[in-house]
A and B are shown apart, each in its own frame.
Chain A
Amino acid sequence: MSLIQNLIRRLLLMIPMAIGITLLLFVVTHIVPVNPLAVILTERSMDDPEAIHAATEKWGLDEPLPVQYLVYLKNLLQGDLGTSFKTKNPVASDLKDFLPATIELSICSFIFAILLGLPLGIISGYKSGSFVDQVTRIISLLGASMPPFWSGLLVLFVFYYKLGWAPGPGRINPRIGAPESVTGLFVFDSLLKGNMPAFWDSLHHLVLPSIILGWFTLALISRITRSSMLEVLSQDYIRTARAKGLAEKLVILKHALRNALIPLVTLVGLAFAGLMSGAIMTETIFSWPGIGRYAVESAANLDYPAITGTTLLIAIIYMLVNIFVDMLYTIIDPRIREG
């Protein structure tokens, strides 16, 4: 089967999955008997008979549950995720506002995790048992065992409160103000507009949350690289490469590393799930206005439309990431493509 055919098949298979996901979310939000109007309307419009009538009509609330689900699905297809009762905005537009902050933070933490995790993994695989290997082991153990909401507070305490090296929570110093929005990524936007103070300040604000969020991914990357490196180095073709007198550097970089990196690709899906779970905690601690914090706040305020909207968005992105990973894997590893 060709790559394109496979991709189309996977994307088509997403449709029943997406319907299943909406059904699950609908069931979850309807098991508890609350007055749905209280969920949809703001407090003030609860006294307004006209608003009640309009909402009942729009969401089909006088219909039986299966019909209500179909109405929900129909609204969803038109991009209507309902209205958040905390922010009073349509959930879809809220998500559009909050998503860039999460994307910016995720990209930075991923860069941090790869820049540090890859070399650490390679060295500890090449020299297993060495000092670097031990340190890497401790770093990755901590990454998997520390609650991010605590490690976040810890680094804020040390680098913001005690040493004053890093800025406090938030995305940018309010006195500098957010750069004019193009993509919503502050670092990118401020660079685009030549707003250097905003560029440096938003970059500065990114450092601590990126480290905390990236730590889990770092642990994942360094461990997989290490074990993959160990396995590849014991292969016959490595011995052959050495036997024919190739420089050790070339053996490692050209023969071992290229093959050792293949399993890393499968990790991206797992890393994404980790990033999303971590973003929920990290964004809360660093007052980062992204969808993780939006999800937490809507959960704490029992803001159902916002919760279901955010959860749905994350699940859809997660599915797309997994398809992308599978495709990438087929492209990189010819054994799968031709096998």
Chain B
Amino acid sequence: MTVTVAEALPKTVDSPIRRSLRSLRRNPMAMLGLVIIVFWAVAAIIAPFTPMRDPLSQTINDRLQSPSAQYWFGTDELGRDVFSRVIYGARISLPIGFVVILFAVMMGVLVGASAGYIGGTYDLLIMRLADITLAFPSIVLALAIAAVLGPSITNALIAMVLVWWPEYARLMRSQVLSVKNNEYVTAAVALGASRGRILMTHILPNTFAPVLVKASLDAGSAILNIAALSFIGLGAVPPTPEWGAMISTGRYQFYSWWLTTFPGLAILMVVLGYNFLGEGVRDSFDPRMT
């Protein structure tokens, strides 16, 4: 019996990405992280459609109530329901953390990839700017930028992106430099592909894994830093239910422990979730980095 070559080959070619995703799905820690994040995301989305109290509505007679059947997490100094404020807080922290990383990645990838690919003076200038930005511990520079821009959650976000993109730019640049001398790139050049096309279709897809790994490991820190800026008073402004800001108003009120405990636990849970998932992504997509 004769078998053609096409029949002898496996039906589907297992791509590296698919293989990585499969190993991610089998990683219990990563899946626990994913469950935590999905849980908070769902809570954040459905919150306005539940009979939960309005996080801003004040019941002056019920000020500083300890947790009870009526107020699960107690009430704050203005008689607002801490439980609904914590849940609504996810509507700020979750998307902000995501957006900070997304913008930092986009900016870093664009700048870093073009620097690595174009080279020359452009590369030199961009990379010196990145070096200078990285000469600061990130939160310190973010603090200065946020202070200058004025307190608001958008400005905190801008400050975070401005101090974070160089890390991705540096990573991306070194990736592009190592990929651009591969034979398949030379082949594309020989075929007359434009520089933009080579960068987008031949180089970028092959540099994607380390950036993804770094982004997923950074997501938790982004949320921590945004909460920190709000805690200092340079992020979300009252009466916005933001976790860092809630901890800030409740600090030193040791008798009313619920004011700070629950928003803090929320931050801890979400950041742990992101870190679990991030480590799983690292193990699956870049085994060298473990």
B247 touches A24 (CB 8 A): no
Indicate whether B74 reaches chain A with its CB closer than 8 angstroms.
no
Provide the main secondary structure of the chain A interface.
Answer: helix
Given contacts A150-B264, A299-B146, A300-B232, contact A276 B137 (CB under 8 A): yes
Indicate whether B13 reaches chain A with its CB closer than 8 angstroms.
no
B268 touches A145 (CB 8 A): yes
> In the complex, what residue of chain B is closest to A150 when comparing beta carbons?
B264
Indicate whether B267 reaches chain A with its CB closer than 8 angstroms.
yes
Given contacts A153-B247, A153-B251, A280-B143, contact A147 B228 (CB under 8 A): yes
Counting chain B residues whose Cβ lies within 8 A of the other chain, the interface size class is 35 or more
Chain A residues near B267 (CB, 8 Å)?
Answer: 146-147, 150
Complex Cα spacing A142 to B268, Å: 8
A307 touches B272 (CB 8 A): no
Q: Which of A154, A157, A299, A315 contacts B232 (CB 8 A)?
A: A299
Query: A residues 202-237 with Cβ under 8 Å of B?
Result: 227
Indicate whether A21 reaches chain B with its CB closer than 8 angstroms.
yes
Indicate whether A20 reaches chain B with its CB closer than 8 angstroms.
yes
Chain B residues near A23 (CB, 8 Å)?
Answer: 132
- Across chains A and B, the number of contacting residue pairs, with CB separation under 8 Å, is 139
A147 touches B275 (CB 8 A): no
Q: Which of B145, B146, B260 contacts A150 (CB 8 A)?
A: B260
Provide the main secondary structure of the chain B interface.
Answer: helix
Indicate whether B64 reaches chain A with its CB closer than 8 angstroms.
no
Interface string of B238-256 (1 = CB under 8 A from A): 0000001001100110100
Chain A residues near B272 (CB, 8 Å)?
Answer: 141, 145
Complex Cα spacing A144 to B232, Å: 20
Q: Which of A24, A276, A285 contacts B140 (CB 8 A)?
A: A276
Given contacts A153-B251, A296-B232, A300-B233, contact A28 B135 (CB under 8 A): no
> In the complex, what residue of chain A is closest to B271 when comparing beta carbons?
A145
Chain A residues near B220 (CB, 8 Å)?
Answer: 144-145
Indicate whether B78 reaches chain A with its CB closer than 8 angstroms.
no
Complex Cα spacing A169 to B132, Å: 35
Complex Cα spacing A185 to B256, Å: 35
Indicate whether A277 reaches chain B with its CB closer than 8 angstroms.
yes
Indicate whether A173 reaches chain B with its CB closer than 8 angstroms.
no
**Residue of A145, A156, A157, A284 contacting most chain B CB atoms (<10 Å):** A145
Chain A: minimal CB distance from B219 (Å): 12
B268 touches A146 (CB 8 A): yes
Query: B residues 115-154 with Cβ under 8 Å of A?
Result: 128-129, 131-133, 135-141, 143-150
A149 touches B247 (CB 8 A): yes
A311 touches B140 (CB 8 A): yes
Chain A residues near B252 (CB, 8 Å)?
Answer: 153, 156, 169
Indicate whether B113 reaches chain A with its CB closer than 8 angstroms.
no
B138 touches A277 (CB 8 A): yes
Chain B: minimal CB distance from A270 (Å): 10
A and B contact pairs by CB, cutoff 8 A, 28 listed: A20-B131, A20-B132, A20-B135, A141-B272, A146-B264, A147-B224, A147-B267, A147-B268, A149-B228, A149-B244, A153-B247, A153-B252, A157-B254, A157-B257, A169-B252, A276-B137, A276-B140, A280-B228, A281-B231, A295-B143, A298-B147, A300-B147, A302-B148, A308-B144, A311-B141, A311-B144, A314-B136, A319-B135
Q: Which 9 A-B pairs have the closest CB atoms?
A: A150-B264, A299-B147, A161-B254, A273-B137, A20-B132, A277-B139, A145-B271, A276-B137, A145-B272
7 other contacts beyond A24-B133, A149-B251, A311-B141, with CB at 8 A cut-off?
A21-B135, A147-B227, A147-B264, A153-B264, A273-B138, A311-B136, A314-B137
